[in-house]
Structure 1
Amino acid sequence: MQTQIETLGWTLEQWQLAQQDDQGWQRLQALLSALPSPAEDPAWIDLASFNELHLQWQQLQELRAAGESLPLLGVPFAIKDNIDAAGWPTTAACPAFSYTATEDATVVARLKAAGAVLIGKTNLDQFATGLVGTRSPYGAVPNAFDPAYVSGGSSSGSASVVARGLVPFALGTDTAGSGRVPAGFNNIVGLKPTRGWFSNKGVVPACRSLDCVSVFALTVDDAVQVSHILGAEQDLDDAFSRRSPQSAAVGMPERPRLAIPAQLEFFGDTAMQAAFEQARSELASLAELVEIDFTPFSELAALLYQGPWVAERTHAVGALLAQPDAMDPVVHAIVSQGQAYTALESFAAEYRRQELARCIQLQLQQVDALVVPTSPTLRTLAAMQQEPLLYNAQFGTYTNFTNLADLCALALPAPFRSDGLPAGITLIANAWQDFALADFGRRWQQQLPLPLGATDQAFKPAAVTSKPVAPGAVRVAVVGAHLRGMPLNFQLTTRQASFVEATQTAPEYRLYALANTTPPKPGLARVAEKGASILVELWDVPLANFGAFVAEIPEPLGIGNLLLQDGRSVKGFICEPLALCSAQDITHFGGWRAYIADLKKSQETLV
C-alpha cells in the first residue's frame, strides 16, 4: 500500500515546497487514505479522521488569512502516544491508563502554530520503559529494514513512520536513549536536545527530571528546522524548562577533535563492530579522533536502571502499579523496583551522579564532541523474548548516561552492516552544543551516500546556499587580524565562535592598512563610488560572548553593519573616517591576506 503514496520519502523541504500550491488539502487527504490502519500497522496507535484532518486544515487557512507566518504549512507529522494532543486519547501504550487530552502539549501547539498537521499518534514501549519497541499491547513495531528484528524503542512507532517515509518528521521522547536507539536501528536522524530546551508540558513522564522530547527526521537539516520551532522560547509552565545561556559553540571547527572510547563493547555482534570500524574510518577523514577512558560514562549509565531513578518511573505510573494485569509484565517488573529505594540511597546516588557528571563534562571540554556507536548490537524479535532485560540493557550502553550527565546528542545514519541492517553513530556533547553537533552532522550526512531511512530516496543536500545563523548567535564579518591563521583569531575561537564561510563584501568598500597598529590591522570603509568587493570571513559568535569580543576592539575600529556581495547584511568591522587619512589604500589587493603576503615578500627581499 505504501508504494501508492505519492509523497513517500519526501523530506521536510519537499513537503514545504509542494504545499505552496493549491493542492495541499488534497495531498493530505491522499496520504491519510493510503496509510494502513493501526490494526494493520503496529507503528500507529491512532490516526486522524478525515474530519479531524480537515478541521486542522481550516484552522491553518484562517491563520494564513490573518497573515501568520507558517513555515510548516500543511506538513504532516506524528507524535509518540505519551504526548498530548487536544481531543486525542493519550495511552502511553497502556489502555488502562488512557485519557483524552484537553489541550495540546506545548511542543504540539508550537508545531501547529507553525502550520504543521498532526496525522497520527505512534506506538511505544509502554510508559516509555524500554529501548526495544516490543513492550506494547498494540504490538511490537518491526524494524523498517527486516521485520524479524526489533525497531528499537521506546519511540518505536515514531522512528518507523519516519524511516518508511510516511511523514517527514515525528516527535519521540528520550530518557535513556529512546530518541536515539530507534534512529540507529532504522537509518534516520534522532535529535536528543539539551534537557529542558524543549518543553515537557503535556508529556506523560517516565523520569521527569531526565525526560526530553526528541525529533526524528530523514535529514539533520530537517531535525534542526523543527528544533528551532520547538525550542523558540522557554516554557514557564514547565518547571524543568531552561533558557539557553547562549554561550556554547553553534558550529564546529573545520577539522574537529572527536573523542572515542578507548575500549568499545559490542557483545559479540561482529557485524555491528565491523560497521562501526567503517564509520570510524570515514570519521577520520573529517576529524581528529582522540581515544578517552570511558569508565565514568559506563558507571553513570549503570546508575539509571540500577539506581533510584527507577523510582521516578514508579511515581509516574502511580496507582496503576497495583494492577499488574493492566501493564506489560516486563514493564511492571521494572517499575516495581522503584519501591525498594530509600531516601538515603537516593541522595547517595545523586551525589555520585553529580561527581561522575562533572568528570564527564570536564572530559568533553577537551574535545568538540564524543562519538559512539548508537547501539553496540541489534537483536531479533525472537531473541528479545528470550532475554528481554539483558539485551535491552545492552542497547543502552552508549545512551543511558546522556541525560544524567546533562549532555545533548545527535544520532546519525552510518555505514550499513554486512547483513544490510542499519548501524548508526551518535555525537554527544555538553549541554547547549546542539547546533554544533548539527553542524558536524550535516557534514557527515553529505559525506556518506546513504538512502533516506528505509526508502529508495537518495540524500540530497538542502537547496540552501548559505548556512542560517543559529539562534543565540551573531554573525560577524572579519576582514583582517581576526581571519583564520591571523594573530587575533584566538579572540574568536576562545569565545566559541564558529567559522561559517569565506565570502566578499558588496562592491562598495575600500580597504586600508592602518598606521601604527600592533598587530597590523586594516580599516574597511563603505564609499559612494569607486568601491570594490573585499574578501571577508563570516563567523558565528555566541550571543553571550559577543559583548566581550566587541570590548576588545580598539579604536579607531568598531562593529557596524556590513553589506555582502549576495545582499546579506551582517555585523562587521568598520573604521572611524579620521583614521583613514593616514592609512594606506590597499583595496587593489582585494583582501588582507594578499596584502600581508605581499608585505612579507617585500620584507624578505630587503633582507
Structure 2
Amino acid sequence: MVHEQAVRPGDAGPRVEGRASAAWITRLASPLAGAGAGPLAGLRFAAKDNIDVAGVPTTAACLAFARTPTAHAHVVQRLLDAGASLLGKTNLDQFACGLNGTRSPYGPVPNSFDPRYVSGGSSSGSAYVVATAQADFALGTDTAGSGRVPAGLNNIVGIKPSRGLLSARGVVPAAQSVDCVSIFARTVAVAARVLQAAMGFDPEDPYGRSLALATAPLPAGFRFGVPSTLNFFGDTLSRAAFEQAVGQLCVLGGEPIEIDYRPLAEAAALLYDSALVAERYAAVRGFFDTHEAEVVEPVRSILAQGRAYSAADFVDARTRLHALGQQAAAMWNDIDVLAVPTAPAHYTIEAMQADPVMLNRNLGEYTNFVNLLDYAAISVPASLRADGLPFGITLIGRAGSDFQLAELGQRFHHATGLPLGATREPLPAIEPLPLVAAPPTVQVAVVGAHLSGMPLNSQLTERGARLVAATHTSPDYRLYALPGTVPPKPGLLRVAAGEGAAIALEIWEMPLAHYGSFVALIPAPLGIGSLRLADGRSVQGFVCEALAVAGADDITALGGWRAYIAARSAAAT
C-alpha cells in the first residue's frame, strides 16, 4: 500500500517545504526508493501526473478520470532501476493540454520567481519542484512544448528528447504520435545522466524506435539558425534577452544564420488549427464522450474540436505537414543547430485566465513545430531579465542530436553564471556528458587580450577552443597593466594571502593537439602556469614574471582587464 498525501481540487493542499503546494497532486509520505546502486543513486525525482506510478492514482489533473495503475510507466521503472527515488506526482494542465500551468482543478502553479506569473505548462508542477530544489529532477511530457516552456520560465533545463527515444508506455497520451517524455533538472549534466538512464527501445510502445545518436560535439565554429521573423508580442525585455543570448552563442564560436521561419510557423499552426487536433480527442475519446462536463475549459473546447474532422481531413493535414517538413529540411544544409526563444513573453496568471487561448498560443510560438517535424531540443537558462524573471533559449537539432545539443547547451548555460533554478546556489563545475566523444582537451584561463571580444581572442578560436565559463581567481592575485605591450596586455601575479583580490577571467577549452602552437605564441614576460580559481580548482593560465610588474600600473582594484579597458576608453573620451 502506498502512503500518500493527496490534494483535492480547490484545496490549498499540504504545505511542501514552505513552497506552493499547487505544484503537487500526490506527495508520497516517504519516497519510493530506487535500486540501492546505480548511475542515479541519491537523486530524488517527481513524475508529472499523466505518468503512471504503481499504486498511486493517475489523474491527468481530472479527478473523474483517475485510475490506479498496477505497474510503473516504463520510464519510471528505468529510473528506479537506475537508483533514483520517487517523491510523488506533480500538477499539470489537464490532459497535458496547455502551455501555461493554469488549466487544472488543483489550482494554477505559480512561477518560481514571482507567484503572480504563470509557470508554463503543461508540465507546470514538475518544473516548479525542480526550480525550487524540492526534487533533483522531474519527468514531464512534451507534445507542443510542455517540456520546454516551463523550463524557460523557471530558469531550469528542459530536455525534449527525440521522439521514441524514451518510452511513452504508461503515459496518458495527449497526441500519441508526437508525444515525448521530457526531463527537467537544474543542470544539463543531471538532465543528460537521466536521459541516458531512461532511454532505450521499448517494443511495447507503438512509437518507440531505435535511434543512431550523434556522439561528436558540434563543430567549434558552429552555425546556428535564427528565425527570419521574431515575435515577442510586445515583451521588450524578452526581445533584449534573446539578442543577448545570440551574442553569447557567438562568443562560444557560433555564427548566426538567418533562416526562413515560415514553414516552421505553418507547421506549428497545424497542431491546433487543422484536423491534427483530432489526435488529442482520440487520446481520451472513451472518457471524454461520457464525461465531457468534467473537463475544464478551454481544454474541453479544444478536445471537442477533434470530433468535427473526417478521416480524409486528417490525411490532408498529415500530407501538408510532410510537405512543410520537406521545405524546412533545407535549412539544415546551412546550419548545425537552430536557436529560438523558449517562450517569447511572460504573462501573469490573471492575464492568462482572462485570455487563455491567445496567450497560451503565444507561449508556443517557437515550440509547437518541433515534435511535428521530428526534431530534438533542449531549453537552457539564458539570463534573468531586468524585472527579475527568467529567460531561456531552446537549441533544436535533427532527431538523434540529443547529446550533441546537451553539450552545447551545457557550455552556454555555464557561460551565463546564473544561479541554479530559483535558488541562490551557484552553478557547479562543468561536467563531461555521457555519450559525447571528444578528442583530448586542455583548459586554459585567460585574463587579458585573449578574452572574448579582445584583440587576441582569435588565437583561441582558430584552434577550435570553446568558452567554458566566466569566473574569477581565488583572492590571491594582483593584476597589472604591462607597459609597452601591443596590443595592451595585463600581468597576473600571485601574492601572499590577504594581499590580493579575485580577478575576472574566462576558461577556454581547446584540443590538446593545438595547445603547443598556442603556447608558442605567448611572449615573455608572460607564460603559462597554474592558476587557482574561486572554487578552489586549479587550471592552466596566463601568469607573469614578478620582475615585469616593477613600475607597471596596479589595476587590481578594477577587478579585471575588461573593466580596465573600459575605464581607459572612458578617460580617452
Which bin holds the TM-score, normalised by the shorter protein? Answer: 0.7 to 0.9
2:162 to 194, 214, 228: 194
How far apart are residue 74 of structure 1 and its match? 3.3
Between 357-366 and 448-457, the greater mean CA deviation after superposition:
357-366
Residue 318 of structure 1: aligned partner: 285
Note if 1:305 corresponds to 2:272. yes
Partner SS for 1:454 = coil
Note if 1:251 corresponds to 2:231. no
CA contact (8 A) 1:269 1:377 kept: yes
5+ residue gaps, structure 1: 1-33, 479-498, 502-533, 539-607
5+ residue gaps, structure 2: 1-13, 442-463, 467-510, 516-573
2:428 to 460, 468, 478: 460
The letter of the residue matching 1:89 is P
Distance 1:469 1:71, change over 3 A: closer
CA contact (8 A) 1:477 1:537 kept: no
Give the distance between the partners of 1:329 and 1:166, measured in 2 at CA: 30
CA contact (8 A) 2:241 2:391 kept: yes
RMSD: 2.3
Distance 1:500 1:169, change over 3 A: farther
The letter of the residue matching 2:263 is P
Q: TM-score, normalised on structure 2? A: 0.73
2:377 to 383, 405, 409: 409
Distance 1:468 1:165, change over 3 A: closer
Distance 1:450 1:335, change over 3 A: same
Q: How does 1:111-510 map to 2 (within 5 A)?
A: 111-231=79-199, 233-246=200-213, 248=214, 250-286=216-252, 287-322=254-289, 323-462=291-430, 464=431, 467-468=432-433, 470=435
Give the distance between the partners of 1:276 and 1:103, measured in 2 at CA: 43
How far apart are residue 329 of structure 1 and its match? 1.8
How far apart are residue 82 of structure 1 and its match? 0.2
Give the distance between the partners of 2:133 and 2:374, measured in 1 at CA: 32
The letter of the residue matching 1:470 is L
How far apart are residue 40 of structure 1 and its match? 5.9
Residue 4 of structure 1: aligned partner: none
Give the distance between the partners of 2:513 and 2:138, measured in 1 at CA: 39
CA contact (8 A) 2:340 2:393 kept: yes
Name the % identity: 48
1:83 to 13, 31, 51: 51
How far apart are residue 327 of structure 1 and its match? 0.8
Partner SS for 2:344 = coil
CA contact (8 A) 1:37 1:47 kept: no
CA contact (8 A) 1:38 1:45 kept: no
The letter of the residue matching 2:250 is A
The letter of the residue matching 1:276 is F
Note if 1:42 corresponds to 2:9. no
Between 134-143 and 361-370, the greater mean CA deviation after superposition:
361-370
Q: 1:389-441 deviations in whole A, cap 9, x for unaligned? A: 00011111100000010000000101222211111100001110111111111
Q: 1:60-79 deviations in whole A, cap 9, x for unaligned? A: 5xx54xxxx51222321000
Give the distance between the partners of 1:299 and 1:382, measured in 2 at CA: 29
Distance 1:363 1:96, change over 3 A: same
Residue 584 of structure 1: aligned partner: none
The letter of the residue matching 2:299 is V
Give the distance between the partners of 1:438 and 1:401, measured in 2 at CA: 20
Distance 1:236 1:397, change over 3 A: same
Residue 75 of structure 2: aligned partner: 107
CA contact (8 A) 1:76 1:119 kept: yes
Between 222-231 and 416-425, the greater mean CA deviation after superposition:
416-425
Give the distance between the partners of 1:146 and 1:332, measured in 2 at CA: 29
Residue 21 of structure 1: aligned partner: none
Q: For this pair of structures, how many residues does the alignment match? A: 434
Between 124-133 and 413-422, the greater mean CA deviation after superposition:
413-422
CA contact (8 A) 1:361 1:405 kept: no
How far apart are residue 38 of structure 1 and its match? 11
Give the distance between the partners of 1:359 and 1:100, measured in 2 at CA: 44
Residue 444 of structure 2: aligned partner: none
How far apart are residue 385 of structure 1 and its match? 1.5
Q: TM-score, normalised on structure 1? A: 0.69
How far apart are residue 279 of structure 1 and its match? 1.5
